[in-house]
Amino acid sequence: MPRKKRQNDENSGCERIIPLGASSDKSSSASYPGNTISTSKYRWWSFLPLVTFEQFQKRANLYFTFITLLMYVGEHSTFIDSTVSWWSTAAVLIPMMGLSMIISGLDDLRRHQSDRQINSQQARVIRLGGKYGVYLDTFLWKNIHVGDVIVLKSDEELPADIVPLACSGSDGQCYVSTANLDGETNLKIKACATEAQAFLCEGHAHGPPLLDQAVEKLAVLDAALSVEAPSKSITKFSGSLNINHSGVQSTSSLSASNLLLRGTRLRNTAWLFGSVVYTGPHTRMVMNSRDIPTKMANLERVVNRAMLVVLGAQALLSSLSSILYVSTEYRFRTSWYLYPSGTWVTEGVASRLAANWFKFFILYSNLMPISLYATMEICNYAQAFFVKSDLLMYDEEQDCPAAVRSTNLCHELGQISYIFSDKTGTLTQNVMELKRVSISGQVFGEVTEEPGFSDVAGVHAWRQMGNQKHVDAFLEILAVAHTVMVTTDRKGSQCYEAESPDEGALVEGAKQMGWHYCSRTADSIAIDMHRQSQTYKILGVNTFNSTRKRMSSLVRSASGETWLLVKGADNVMMDRAEHVPAWLTQSLTNFSLSGLRTLVLGRRRLDEQEVQAWLQTYDAAQCALEDRDAKLEAAAEQIEVKLQMVGVTGIEDKLQVGVPDTITKLREAGIQLWVLTGDKLETARNIGFSTNLLSADMDIRVLEQSENVRHALQELASTALTPDEGGDSALMVTGAALEQVTSVGLLEEFLQASSVCSVVIACRVSPLQKAQLVRLVRESSDPQPVTLAIGDGANDVPMIQEAHVGVGVSGKEGRQAVNASDFAIAQFRFLERLLLVHGRWDYRRTCKFILYTFWRNAIITMLLFYYTFFSGYSGTCMFTSTVWTSFSMILFWPIIATGISDRDVTAKQAVEHPSLYETGRLGLDLNITKMVEMLLSAFVHSFVIMTIAVVAVMDLDVAATGSYYSFGFMVFSWVVLTMNYRATFITTTYNFVFLAALAVSFLTYLLFACVYCSLPSMFPEVYGTFQHVVRNPVFWMGSFAVPLLAVMIDMFKAYLMLEFFPDQRDLILEQSLQGKLSDIFRDTKHDPQRRGSRSSSFDRSATWHTGEMSAISSSYAFSFPEGQRVQSLGALPRLQRDSDTTLLDNLASGRPSPRPSPSFATIASSDSDSGGSTGTASSAAEPKLQKPRASNFSQQTMPSVQFALNRKVVLVALISSGVLFVLMGFATLLYSLSSSQFRVVYEAPDDWYVGAGESKKSYSGEILIRPCHEPQRCAFPITVPADLDPPIQVYYEVTPFLQNYYTYISSVAWQQLEGKNDVKAPVVCETRTRQTQQGEEIFPCGLMATSVFNDTFEIEGIPIDTESSDMPVWREFHNPPDYPERPNVSWLYERYPTVTSRALGIQSKRFIAWMLPNFLNRAGKPYGVVSQPLKKGQLITLHITSTFRVQALGATKTLLLTRGAQNYTLAYILLTSGALCSALVATVFAVYLSCGRQPGKPRQRLSGFSTNWRHGPEFDSTSSEEESSA
């Protein structure tokens, strides 16, 4: 039931008194929270505000929201004139944010479903009442409250934190698995409250099952639990149990061993019941749950810095444009057609600069790529999918694929400079076997590949030679001093359940040598010693922890002697030894040199008086209610003294398969490896040699604790060999030395000394020191070197979370490291493929789409900047708002395919040539140089596009295709072609994914163009534009010319880089294409020697294992809690009666067993994948549930074509481009020559006429000068200079005339032109253009409709048809339905009777042509068509009525008569481009003939010239190792 938050808060920090049994009171639990848990982030009412807040944590979303608001303010205020509609940005921003919100919502919905599944599980609860005073009932987990007594069977999960009251285990001992809580799969020993176990389980030998008796006695139990307030500590707990039995009060203290936590599972215990003490949010597991820290990828930091640079560039362009506008504003303010008469500048310069700065800042906002983050998320997701699906990183034995928990770090794997690795379980298998022993100095056993101890016969022989006392004392410690449990597996065989693999290996070794550990109870342990049974009484156990580094057992043998048996680490055991014999140190050294983990064994005999005195201290510590753990440690310190050294054990932890080769590859990739281990220095040194970390030719230095550690560090730094000096150095440092270095503040000096070493091994380091070392290297410089930490245990979590990238190995030390990691793999050898293949691929892919995205947006922005020079600096956008919005939608498909599936080299090549990895390690694909190169490329490409566009305008004007809308759409098409070409050029692998993406991009473009230009009701300004543009040959010429120019530029530049500065990837591709990959890239000088490593894959002994056991199987009858009493089972053995769970099974009669659900710990981290299964190897018959699919797509083995640039490709591209340029140039030239035209300039500024005469020649035809200043009517006799065949197009041109000026072009009521009522007319049309001085409505309104060109032209005797069907006017306007009867309206024919008639209205073609504004700063429009031929030399009389005012504008008016179109400039540019291609082809041949490089071979180093600027390796035969580790 719901609890109030106030009540929860009031009781969360108070000690709890919980009555039990007969004195239980349900009302006492009302003030505590319920048992419902919630891992979700949102509720239905908080989802929208919270997820919106999260979205605005991203800087890009904030930026574009700010831009959208600026646009909106600009559209609805006078301070800022936004030239781009606010919805053009919002239409992209909102879907992007919405998609992220939906993903967050779906993730949280999964959490809600998981929470619901967990909270709805069933639990058995003991209730008071019923026929027998007590009965069992089932409750949902969410309905459990504090004080409830719940009952569990083996293998069931605890629904809350409970104090166990009784169980089937002897003396109240039970076992739990805490894998869901702390990731450790080893079982933990717990105990019931002593007094409660004694009271409830005090049954008779022939009575009912023990569980039945205990449940019945619960009804008469009069007790109360007193427990501490809820806390996060899972290792500490204090409380007490008070029982009133027949008037006698008894109190027993409670410790952490008496608290079972939610999320743990009951193991190897038939049944248990206990009282709930903490529920829901107060349980230890919920209080300790936390999110994995969010890590930002290095490339994301680079992008953020790049965006700051982009922001600065955007501000600079805005400032420049604003200054240009303000400095020329007066000239445009005086133009009568742009601003109403009398409109003057009244604002100050500063306010005008600020207002226009914001206007241009909005215009250039596309410089910041709005789609970059969305593209990165999609590519990151796909890259993570490929990592998880890689069958070569799938472990068959564990059924464990690779897992990705942080998708944003996939490309980070390609930039690793440092690897920090744990040893045990990471480099080794964590399969422990006792290999060597030293008994009183006598050494037995050898390290062999055979499983088990190899010299049992030698031990027995030495024992029979009079050394029985020494051997038995040694084996006695191994077989007796431990906490191992004897269990049975599914096959019924006996096996050992150990808290640590080391302990299991020692007990197994003792068994092989004749001391067979058989069973144990709470206070005894049974041993079969050479087939003679012997029982030891356990008086006390001092447990192991990381601080004590030892454990001891106080036991009494069958002979009555009391011994303290101790085993522990060498340093702590020597400190407590009565005497340290010489053989001990020698044995430790020898075992360590063999790479074995060592333990020292000792013992001490105690007299009865000392035993009793210590037991009093021990019992008092056990019963202590406060500081119990500290008192127990103090008690152990008191007795663990004056130990007699008995022997030394050497345990082998075998190397994992492939570890030496993997380390060799990683070192060849230039990655520095740091191994951080808790082993001795000698052990770590030996492991270093066996794993190829260390080699014989290395300069190995050791840093140990010393009096002058500063001097030692200086000596290390000054004498260590660096790779540049022809050698490698390694540093070995101890944990004590690190503590000393830290305490005296010499971390920087230590880092300097270690930086010259390719390998660092730190020994005897704690988890905290591991994290400190990672942080030290990580923060050593700016930018930070990318670090990776890999480990498999809970002690590796701090360094995994501290590193840039954390990798968890799903080994045998639990799931804690995997749950805290960013990536999870099953074997260390998979790290080679994870970094060298996936990491490198993903880094290069990510860099490509980042640079491409910035390049694409830079081109668009530069085009807008260029266009301001042709639009009077008014800020007119070259593209409409809809086209602006479509760029991201159309262009992101191909680059996403590149970011997902591009591969510059194959996986095999990447592994065989590890030095390729330096590309990412040195950041060669994304840096300042690459950004500058990208900006220069964007400048060149945008200049090419703009040049072709401006040159083509004349021809387009003649075809009436040069309007602002049609030409903007044409440039948009050329940009799409160029950018898709660019995506193709930077892509190396062409597969069906890329080809499909390219096709989708073009199909999206076609669909957008057709739909956008076919909806007059929505987009009247562009209606029919696309259909008209594609009919013009210039459109297709530009569609070929623009990409071909880009090809020419990119190909030649790439060829020069390939020829003179090839990198290793280029050479490998060349070799691959020739089919003869050479070995010149392999390191032959410093290739570490391949040593036979002991990376055995033998399974451990089948008689013991760590991990979780299966449930105890049983077969029981059924009954109901309210039914008849369970009958006595007669003379069943006591063990079987104690384990009888018939009472619990009866409760579930007729009901299906609840399906196991995921644990809370799993759900709490369900944002990511797990790393696979744990435990022992799966049976061969079991299906591989997590094995990835073997499709070509998931394995990245799709059929593909590998693109590799070479001389032949460059020549083919340049020659093909040159031929096409020449063909298009000649076609344009011939077309221009076949056309004929002449011009008549009839009005111009006075200074224009100076020296002009009556005519002048031009390459485009003769220009006749016939002045006719407005307002007047003139007649001129003209001799036709060339033959003109009908139909002859008549055009007029006013230059300059800014129809593309923003205030002018935006002052059009398009709905009026469609014959509809335009509600936006009062907004787009200012008052002077909407209403006459007499108060009449102007129709149509707007600046453009009230400044129509109204000069007239007539040729005497030859009619000019101004409504001819041959006029290149494809648009149609419509008069309103009430035209022309609507009263009080000033119609167009009334204002401009020479332009249109009453019958035509706004349907006049002259008016339609005028209303389609020109792209550039001139008004060139069709006037009419002459249907009669004009012959050369024919005399005609031209009548001109000049009424259109241009004198104040300083403009020129021209009349053009033409047959066809002429564009000699475009022809010359195309021919020049063809000639340039020829020159480039000649250059390529010249380079090849004079100093050509042989394909696949590096260019020899030139004297006095270095290629280091490119940061690439120089591939001579003697420097490969130097360059790979530079």
pLDDT at 1519: 34
DSSP-based three-state secondary structure for 1097: coil
> Which H/E stretch holds residue 239?
strand 239-245
Find out whether 1497 is annotated in a ligand binding site: no
Q: Could you tell me the two tokens for 912? A: 């065989």
Find out whether 503 is annotated in a ligand binding site: yes
- The pLDDT of 400-408, averaged and rounded, is 86
Q: pLDDT by residue (tens digit) across 276-317?
A: 999 998 988 888 665 556 677 888 788 878 888 888 889 999
Q: Which residues pair with 1358 in a beta bridge?
A: 1355
pLDDT of 1506 > 70? The answer is no
- Distance in angstroms (rounded) separating the CA atoms of residues 705 and 739: 9
Find out whether 385 is annotated in a ligand binding site: no
pLDDT-derived band at 1133 (thresholds 50, 70, 90) equals very low
pLDDT of 1338 > 70? The answer is yes
Find out whether 422 is annotated in a ligand binding site: yes
Pairing of strands 134-140, 1360-1361: unpaired
pLDDT at 341: 65
- The pLDDT of 367-379, averaged and rounded, is 83
Find out whether 1424 is annotated in a ligand binding site: no
Q: Could you tell me the two tokens for 742? A: 């830290």
pLDDT of 1340 > 70? The answer is yes
Find out whether 1420 is annotated in a ligand binding site: no
Find out whether 575 is annotated in a ligand binding site: no
Find out whether 978 is annotated in a ligand binding site: no
DSSP codes, 318-352: HHHHHHHHHHHHHHHHT-TTTS-TT----S-HHHH
Three-state secondary structure readout of 770-792: HHHHHHHHHCCCCCCCEEEEEEC
- The pLDDT of 129-135, averaged and rounded, is 75
Share of the chain above pLDDT 70, in %: 85
pLDDT of 1277 > 70? The answer is yes
pLDDT at 23: 64
Find out whether 792 is annotated in a ligand binding site: yes
205 touches 1134 (CB < 8 A):
yes
Phi-psi label, residue 543: left if phi above 0, alpha if psi -120 to 50, beta otherwise:
beta
pLDDT-derived band at 1145 (thresholds 50, 70, 90) equals low
Find out whether 1087 is annotated in a ligand binding site: no
- Distance in angstroms (rounded) separating the CA atoms of residues 1112 and 488: 9
- Distance in angstroms (rounded) separating the CA atoms of residues 1120 and 996: 65
776 touches 744 (CB < 8 A):
no
pLDDT at 182: 58
Lowest mean pLDDT among 427-431, 456-460, 1392-1396, 1504-1508: 1504-1508
Q: Could you tell me the two tokens for 1395? A: 């332009």
pLDDT of 205 > 70? The answer is no
- The pLDDT of 985-1002, averaged and rounded, is 94
DSSP-based three-state secondary structure for 827: coil
Continuous H helices in 167-220:
179-182, 194-200, 210-218
C-alpha of 150 from chain center: 43
pLDDT at 720: 55
pLDDT of 522 > 90? The answer is no
pLDDT at 501: 75
Q: pLDDT by residue (tens digit) across 531-573?
A: 888 999 999 988 877 678 889 999 999 888 999 999 998 888 9
- Distance in angstroms (rounded) separating the CA atoms of residues 668 and 662: 10
Mean model confidence pLDDT for the chain: 81
1243: CB partners within 8 A, 6+ apart: 1267, 1268, 1269, 1270, 1442, 1446, 1447, 1452, 1453
Positions annotated as catalytic residues are 422
With 0-12 CB in 10 A as exposed, 13-18 as middle and 19+ as buried, what is 73?
A: middle
654: CB partners within 8 A, 6+ apart: 428, 429, 431, 433, 1094, 1095, 1096, 1098
pLDDT at 217: 85
pLDDT at 982: 92
Is the pLDDT higher at 401 or at 1170?
Answer: 401
Q: pLDDT by residue (tens digit) across 789-837?
A: 998 876 788 888 889 999 988 865 556 678 778 899 999 999 999 999 9
pLDDT-derived band at 1140 (thresholds 50, 70, 90) equals low
Q: pLDDT by residue (tens digit) across 952-971?
A: 775 555 544 568 888 888 89
- The pLDDT of 1043-1048, averaged and rounded, is 90
pLDDT of 1404 > 80? The answer is yes
Q: Could you tell me the two tokens for 1480? A: 């480039």
**Ranges 683-697, 703-717, 924-938, most confident:** 924-938
881-883-887-891 Cα dihedral, nearest 10 degrees: 170
Find out whether 770 is annotated in a ligand binding site: yes
pLDDT-derived band at 180 (thresholds 50, 70, 90) equals low
880: CB partners within 8 A, 6+ apart: 965, 968, 1019, 1021, 1022
- The pLDDT of 940-953, averaged and rounded, is 86
- The pLDDT of 316-326, averaged and rounded, is 92
DSSP codes, 161-172: EEEEEEESSGGG
| Strand order across the 271-278 sheet | 134-140, 122-128, 149-153, 271-278, 161-167
Find out whether 677 is annotated in a ligand binding site: yes
Pairing of strands 532-542, 515-520: unpaired
- The pLDDT of 1205-1220, averaged and rounded, is 91
pLDDT-derived band at 1166 (thresholds 50, 70, 90) equals very low
pLDDT at 215: 83
Find out whether 597 is annotated in a ligand binding site: yes
